[in-house]
Amino acid sequence: MQWEDHISFNPDVCHGKACIRGTRVLVSVILDNLAASLTHDAILKDYPTITEESIRAAIAYAADLAHERVLSSTQGAA
């Protein structure tokens, strides 16, 4: 999957934040819903302008971002 085919960054749409192409649905909203244990079906019901492929693209985008930075297990520990 090429997430780039499904996600856009346009300064005129949602202040340039990552959105599902052709919508105003932020990738972060999809990821927040997944993190909150919503099913794909529930997300698709709440956001009918996106597809199953959109959800997979959001996950692939997040995975790519996770490769960019290495965090230490002690970072942020008090």
pTM, 2 dp: 0.82
Using DSSP, state whether 73 is helix, strand or coil: coil
With a cut of 80, say whether residue 68 has pLDDT above it.
no
DSSP-assigned states of every residue in 1-67: --GGGTEE--TTSGGG--EETTS--BHHHHHHHHHTT--HHHHHHH-TT--HHHHHHHHHHHHHHHT
| 67: confidence class by pLDDT, cuts 50, 70, 90 | confident
Determine the CATH number of domain 3-64.
Answer: 1.10.10.10
pLDDT tens-digit readout, 1-57: 799 999 999 999 999 999 999 999 999 999 999 999 999 999 999 999 999 999 999
